Structure 1
Amino acid sequence: MKEILYIQAGSQANYAGTHFWNTQESYFTYGEEEDAEVSHGISFREGLNQKGEPTFCPRLLVFDRKAQFGTLSQANALFGVDEAAEEEQILWSGNPVEYKQEPVQKSRYQTDMEELDPDAGSASSAVQLADVRYWSDFNRMYYLPRTVQKVPDIPEWEDSEGNWTTGNETFTRYDEDTGLMEGPLRLFLEECETIQGIQLMHDTATFGSFVNSFLTSLRDDFVKLPLLSWPLLSDTTPSFHIGDDRRGIRKIINDALALRSLSELSSMTIPIQSPTTWTDELCSNTYMQASVCHSVRATFHSKFSHLDDISDFCAQLSWRSALPFAELGGQTQFGRRDVTRGFSHAGITSYNEWIYRSGVDASVISSSFPAFFSSAETWLPNTPPMVSLRPASTSVFSSIGVTSGTAGFFSDYAELLEDWTRRKISVENAGIDVDELGDLANDLWTLHDNAGGETYGGSDTDVRGEDEE
């Protein structure tokens, strides 16, 4: 079957992940298997609920702070009783004084679905941006209880984009308290017939060090298991002028530490910078981020994909480079994988002509979209004003490549870290000291060199190649 285990950690990753799983749910035909466009067993686990009824639930571990889950709990209509009801079973015989927090109210979107509103999810009931409080507000899926992993909240006076050492310690305590690695994780993996690998998406600012410890523990038992990671970097980049802003410094350091960690623990890493830092107006929003990432991820469980699994995907991208990093778009390309979705015949013809002229050996995957689009209000002639229309389809092109631009990506971080080391900038609460900051900069220079950048010749030397100027 070549199953995939998915892992999401952090609110931004779970926003994107919720879009991904909603879309996967919309592919279900609930009829003959040959009618489906995807192999559901790759991403979904088939099992029985408490009533003995067959169910399909995502093969997924979801991590976030407890307060960020909203109404999503380990118990749901398919599995278990309500958590609040369990809490009412007090074993003490005295007279307790209870102080209960108001339960989170369900979103309108969720309420409509529960009432079996045929228009649930359409323009009349879809979640509006102003109404979104949590990533679970527009969730359409039922999850296994072990999917939901609620990490304890941090005190209000602490910054959620935190200390690298503290995040590692948080994972150790969480694993000891919940039996995560020997319980939910191992059970998911052992249920698979022939697992092809893990797909990971996480916020580096809030869960970078937590995931670092998670993957380190994972590699103790599963050394060769393919792992494709999508780290969502913070909203601060080396190109920003952050001066001596401690919060900005900590974000940069967390991102750099996460990238170094993934270079050792992941088979292939595709860093995604925050949409707020993107310069292309067309793509500078979270919707395009989710769409682009989903388009690439969806090919692994498509019936029409001729690239079989995560291992092949990683091997194709790294055949000319040992560096386990790729990027969306890029400059001079050494290997590329393209995904087209919803292209017309004319669009496919134009694409084929372009790919022929480029001379790059690219693997092309064609994949369809389900009917899963928001309605748009527009003016039409001879009709009442502001008629709602739902587009039938749209076209999306995603390209993942190993390129020369990756070298410049690492040198930007390395140069800034070197500058802070020389000036002995305070890295208080970042989880490392100034000496470790210098070691981190050297490691990033090594990644820069492995990515095809010019050999590092010292802090006063321009190390960028012609493609990066």
Structure 2
Amino acid sequence: MSTREILTIQLGHYSNYVGAHFWNIQELSFDYTGTVKTEVNHDILYREGQTSTGEVTYTPRLLLADLKGSLKTLPATGGLESATNDEGDLPWSYVEKIEDPPAEKNEFLSDIEAENPPDTQDKKYILEDNINTWTDYLYPRFHSRTINVIKSYQHGDEHEGFDIGSTGRSIWKSDYGDTFTDNIRKYVEECDSMQGFQVNFDCYNGFSGLAIGCIEHLADEYSKTVLAYPIIPSYFNDNNPANQEERDTSNLKDSMRLVNIALAIEELSQNASLFVPLCTSDKGWRKPGNPRSFEYVSYNHALYYHSSALLASALDTLSQKYRHKTNIYTLSDMCADLTGYGRKMAAASLRLPFAFHESEYLIDYLNTTTQPIYTPITPSCKIATDKIFQLITVRGIPENYLKAPMKEAKEQMNIPAYRCRDIKEMFELYFQANNFLSATNVTVCDKPLEVKNPYPNIFSDKLNKYGFIQDDARTSNIQSCPVIAGYHNGNFMADMIEKLHREVSRIKFAKLHKFKEEGLEAADYQECLDRLAEFKDNYEDDFEL
């Protein structure tokens, strides 16, 4: 079986929050006993190597970037003891002398690093008050070339923030970018049949420019698919100003974020194979807005630890499409299917958990529900029901939940869906009935999403340990849950781009002095906005599937 490797690139602090949950989900679902059927080909995202002492390692094929001071408990060398990469070269940060005292570790990190670690899945951790950065709940350790710290900017510095896309562009053109591209090359040279690149990045600050520089490099140097996720947090610290001065500061920061987003999306329309903006709040542009609602989930949208877990769950589920062992569908196939007519931007959705009663059948639930079975996680986006193309992934619904046996079926026999032989057929019939002039490709995975520690405790006690609704309150930790996630594209995306263009056009660029100081001219800025408006036109012509 061909490995079909993918290199993942994470750029930015919030994207690393998402990434920490994503890699936790991967690693905590590994089976080391050989007794569990594995649906996913983990070699697509992971690589095998060795430490300098000969110990075999299995680490994410990953490059990430963050600012100085963001790592806390995680060494810049990735955290593996006696770590060195296989070619014998050391990362440029390896010999840096660390003067700061070691950061204090929370209970979860202390447990997993103890000499005789306890079973962390038997404990209930309350980490919400002990998460200061994404490394505070990171379970895996990384290859020595994975972490690339931008040392010229300090994380959390309010006076000299890394908040302009042009600044990230400048960093990319420096020695930092040369080192980063060299690390990309080393990963690519290790691959036998590479699918392409998955780039997750903060699109509202300096990392937007760093990401665009990186994606341009990937497009120029490698004839591979580039799937990008520009990510916006669900909340910013300046979203609730208390006085006029704070309101003025918040509005200025908001305008800067909005310009960064607009510039990034326009550039992605030229250089990415496909890009899917992500945010768990409804607006995204200007202020993120109200948090999206997920039934049987109660999360604090102001906590990155919470909101990033939802996005990571979506990414893990969506990526099943091109990581499943039985599926020959590749990253290139997926991007080609979704991006007809120059529509390179798509929306994403999530239903977490996809919960119905433990004594109910799927056929009854789908036949009676009047609500959409997924929630958009793309900003300023309401997914249409007609004239769309969508790729849906369903996971974690056992076949015995499909329908009643014939001798017990009773009224179910009168439902056309009773003829469906499996989960896939039933969902295909559901979407055929509910989406006019649309095409839906459904992937079904047996294995549910595993939400083991340190996944946040955001699920209702009405769910049993497998994520289905029960009559009695749950007393033990939830271990897994069924999930639906999807990619969607169609005319409805034009409205999203129009909202972004309208908001950013209201900004008086002359007042954003920092952009001009970083080299962005007003004429170039206006030209970018014009191209963004032209990109919207790709979604406005009627088409037939």
Task: Please state which band the TM-score falls in when normalised by the shorter chain.
Answer: 0.7 to 0.9
Which whole-Å deviations, capped at 9, do the CAs of 1:235-293 have from their partners, x for residues lacking one? 699xx999992211111000001101111111000011353535532287413222222
Indicate conservation of the 8 Å contact 2:234/2:291, yes or no. Answer: no
* Structure 2 residue 210 is matched with structure 1 residue 201: no
Is 2:235 the counterpart of 1:181?
no
Q: Distance in 2 between matches of 1:377 and 1:354?
A: 27
Q: Deviations over 1:165-212 (max 9, x none)?
A: 222111222436x62212x11000000000001111110123100111
2:311 corresponds to 1:289 = yes
1-structure distance, mates of 2:179, 2:496:
37
Change (3 A) 1:55 1:108: same
What is the aligned partner in structure 2 of residue 247 from structure 1? Answer: 253
Q: CA deviation at 1:150?
A: 0.9
Q: Specify every segment of 5 or more residues in structure 1 that has no aligned partner in the other structure, as ranges.
A: 89-98, 381-385, 455-469
Match of 1:448 in 2: 536
2:27 corresponds, among 25, 28, 39, to: 25
1:399 aligns with 2:486: yes
Equivalent residue number for residue 408 of structure 2? none
1:427 and 2:512 correspond: yes
Cα separation, 1, equivalents of 2:529 and 2:536:
10
Aligned pairs (5 A) from 1:117-196: 117-124=117-124, 126=125, 128-154=127-153, 156-160=157-161, 162-175=163-176, 179-182=179-182, 184-196=183-195
Q: 1:328-343 residue pairs with structure 2 within 5 A?
A: 328=348, 329=376, 330-331=383-384, 332-343=386-397
Partner of 1:417 in structure 2?
A: 504
- Residue 64 of structure 1 aligns to a residue whose secondary structure is strand
Per-residue Cα deviation, 1:67-115 (whole angstroms, up to 9, x for no partner): 1112112153444399999556xxxxxxxxxx93222122321110122
Give the direction of change, closer, same or farther, for the CA distance of 1:377–1:123 in structure 2 (3 Å limit).
farther
Q: Percent identity?
A: 21
2:289 corresponds in structure 1 to 277
- Is the 8 Å Cα contact of residues 320 and 393 (structure 2) preserved in structure 1? no
Pairs within 5 Å for 1:261-276 = 261-275=267-281, 276=288
2:80–2:143: 8 Å Cα contact kept in structure 1? no
Task: Specify which of 345, 354, 359 is matched with residue 430 of structure 2.
Answer: 354
Q: Could you say which residue in structure 1 is the equivalent of 2:343?
A: 323
1:140 partner amino acid: Y
Q: 1:377 to 1:194 in 2, by over 3 A?
A: closer
Distance in 2, matches of 1:274 and 1:453, equals 29
Counterpart-to-counterpart distance in 1, 2:280 and 2:217: 28
The reply to whether residue 363 of structure 1 matches residue 421 of structure 2 is: no
Note closer, same or farther for the CA distance 1:86–1:256 as it changes in structure 2 (3 Å cut): closer
Q: Could you tell me which residue of structure 1 aligns to residue 467 of structure 2?
A: none
Are 1:54 and 2:141 counterparts?
A: no
Summarize the Cα distance change of 1:34–1:101 in structure 2 as closer, same or farther, 3 Å threshold: closer
Q: Is 1:372 matched with 2:375?
A: no
How far is the alpha carbon of 1:419 from its aligned partner?
Answer: 3.2
Deviation of the 1:346 alpha carbon: 3.4
Distance verdict in 2 for CA 1:452–1:246, change over 3 Å: same
* Residues 24-43 of structure 1 aligned to structure 2 (within 5 Å): 24-32=26-34, 35-43=37-45
Gapped regions of structure 2 (runs ≥ 5)? 85-89, 241-246, 282-287, 302-306, 349-375, 377-382, 404-422, 464-472
1:248–1:54 CA distance, 2 compared to 1 (3 A): same
Write out per-residue CA displacement over residues 301-331 of structure 1, whole angstroms, 9 at most, x where no aligned residue.
2223x35210011111124x22211002411
Distance 1:336 1:302 in 2: 18
After TM superposition, the score normalised by the length of structure 2 is 0.71
SS of 2:218 mapped into structure 1:
helix
Q: What code does the residue aligned with 2:402 have?
A: A
In the alignment, the residues of structure 2 paired with residue 416 and residue 85 of structure 1 have an alpha-carbon distance, to the nearest angstrom, of 44
Q: Does 1:312 align with 2:311?
A: no
Amino acid at match of 2:319: R
- C-alpha RMSD of the superposition: 3.3
Q: May I ask how many residue pairs the two structures share in their alignment?
A: 430
